[in-house]
Protein backbone atom coordinates (compact mmCIF):
# COMPACT_ATOMS: atom_id res chain seq x y z
CA UNK A 1 0.00 0.00 0.00
CA UNK A 2 1.20 3.49 -0.80
CA UNK A 3 -0.07 6.91 0.14
CA UNK A 4 -0.92 7.54 -3.52
CA UNK A 5 -3.04 4.40 -3.62
CA UNK A 6 -4.91 5.49 -0.50
CA UNK A 7 -5.42 8.97 -1.96
CA UNK A 8 -6.89 7.51 -5.15
CA UNK A 9 -9.24 5.22 -3.20
CA UNK A 10 -10.38 8.16 -1.07
CA UNK A 11 -10.92 10.31 -4.16
CA UNK A 12 -13.08 7.66 -5.84
CA UNK A 13 -15.14 6.86 -2.73
CA UNK A 14 -18.47 8.33 -1.79
CA UNK A 15 -18.20 11.16 0.71
CA UNK A 16 -19.19 10.03 4.18
CA UNK A 17 -17.89 8.67 7.44
CA UNK A 18 -17.27 5.16 6.07
CA UNK A 19 -14.71 6.61 3.69
CA UNK A 20 -12.95 8.35 6.58
CA UNK A 21 -12.95 5.11 8.59
CA UNK A 22 -11.12 3.43 5.70
CA UNK A 23 -8.74 6.38 5.42
CA UNK A 24 -7.97 6.16 9.13
CA UNK A 25 -7.33 2.42 8.88
CA UNK A 26 -5.06 2.91 5.88
CA UNK A 27 -3.05 5.52 7.77
CA UNK A 28 -2.61 3.10 10.68
CA UNK A 29 -1.28 0.52 8.24
CA UNK A 30 1.09 3.01 6.62
CA UNK A 31 2.44 4.08 10.02
CA UNK A 32 3.47 0.46 10.58
CA UNK A 33 4.74 -0.14 7.04
CA UNK A 34 6.59 3.16 6.57
CA UNK A 35 7.67 4.52 9.96
CA UNK A 36 10.00 7.07 8.34
CA UNK A 37 6.95 9.05 7.24
CA UNK A 38 4.77 8.34 10.27
CA UNK A 39 4.19 12.04 10.99
CA UNK A 40 2.41 12.46 7.64
CA UNK A 41 0.23 9.44 8.21
CA UNK A 42 -0.50 10.41 11.80
CA UNK A 43 -1.67 13.88 10.76
CA UNK A 44 -4.10 12.40 8.24
CA UNK A 45 -5.13 9.72 10.74
CA UNK A 46 -6.05 12.47 13.19
CA UNK A 47 -8.13 14.35 10.63
CA UNK A 48 -9.98 11.18 9.63
CA UNK A 49 -10.52 10.11 13.24
CA UNK A 50 -11.95 13.50 14.18
CA UNK A 51 -14.30 13.53 11.18
CA UNK A 52 -15.69 10.13 12.16
CA UNK A 53 -16.06 11.11 15.82
CA UNK A 54 -17.90 14.32 14.94
CA UNK A 55 -20.19 13.13 12.18
CA UNK A 56 -20.77 9.37 12.31
CA UNK A 57 -24.01 9.74 14.30
CA UNK A 58 -25.15 12.95 12.63
CA UNK A 59 -26.96 13.59 9.43
CA UNK A 60 -24.92 15.89 7.22
CA UNK A 61 -25.92 17.35 3.90
CA UNK A 62 -24.44 15.85 0.75
CA UNK A 63 -22.88 19.26 0.00
CA UNK A 64 -21.18 19.35 3.41
CA UNK A 65 -19.77 15.84 2.89
CA UNK A 66 -18.56 16.65 -0.63
CA UNK A 67 -16.97 19.94 0.42
CA UNK A 68 -15.08 18.25 3.24
CA UNK A 69 -13.94 15.41 1.01
CA UNK A 70 -12.54 18.02 -1.40
CA UNK A 71 -10.77 19.76 1.48
CA UNK A 72 -9.25 16.49 2.67
CA UNK A 73 -8.21 15.69 -0.89
CA UNK A 74 -6.40 19.02 -1.15
CA UNK A 75 -4.40 18.11 1.97
CA UNK A 76 -3.74 14.59 0.68
CA UNK A 77 -2.47 15.95 -2.65
CA UNK A 78 -0.07 18.34 -0.92
CA UNK A 79 1.34 15.53 1.20
CA UNK A 80 1.46 13.03 -1.66
CA UNK A 81 3.46 15.41 -3.81
CA UNK A 82 6.01 15.85 -1.02
CA UNK A 83 6.20 12.10 -0.34
CA UNK A 84 6.89 11.47 -4.00
CA UNK A 85 9.77 13.97 -3.97
CA UNK A 86 11.30 11.90 -1.21
CA UNK A 87 13.27 14.61 0.56
CA UNK A 88 12.84 15.76 4.13
CA UNK A 89 12.66 19.47 3.31
CA UNK A 90 9.73 19.02 0.91
CA UNK A 91 7.91 16.89 3.46
CA UNK A 92 8.53 19.37 6.24
CA UNK A 93 7.18 22.24 4.13
CA UNK A 94 4.15 20.18 3.07
CA UNK A 95 3.30 19.29 6.66
CA UNK A 96 3.58 22.94 7.68
CA UNK A 97 1.45 24.02 4.74
CA UNK A 98 -1.31 21.55 5.61
CA UNK A 99 -1.27 22.51 9.28
CA UNK A 100 -1.39 26.22 8.44
CA UNK A 101 -4.20 25.73 5.93
CA UNK A 102 -6.11 23.69 8.49
CA UNK A 103 -5.62 26.34 11.15
CA UNK A 104 -7.08 28.93 8.78
CA UNK A 105 -10.04 26.73 7.85
CA UNK A 106 -13.38 26.05 9.52
CA UNK A 107 -11.78 23.03 11.25
CA UNK A 108 -14.52 20.58 10.35
CA UNK A 109 -12.31 17.62 11.23
Query: What are the b/e assignments for 40-56, b being 16+ CB within 10 Å?
Result: bbebbbebbbebbeebe
The domain locations on the chain are 3-103
Helix boundaries (H) for 14-61: 17-33, 38-55
| pLDDT score for 99 | 97
* Burial group, residue 68, by CB count within 10 angstroms (0-12, 13-18, 19+): buried
Query: In angstroms, how far is CA 1 from the centroid of its own chain?
Result: 15
The span from the CA of 93 to the CA of 109, in Å, is 21
| pLDDT score for 65 | 96
The span from the CA of 4 to the CA of 28, in Å, is 15
Each residue's pLDDT, cut to its tens digit, for the chain (109 residues) gives: 999 999 999 999 999 999 999 999 999 999 999 999 999 999 999 999 999 999 999 999 999 999 999 999 999 999 999 999 999 999 999 999 999 999 999 888 8
Amino acid sequence: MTFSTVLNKFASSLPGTDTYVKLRQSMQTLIQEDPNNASVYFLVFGFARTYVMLYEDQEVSPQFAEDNQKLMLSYLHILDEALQKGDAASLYHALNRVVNEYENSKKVF
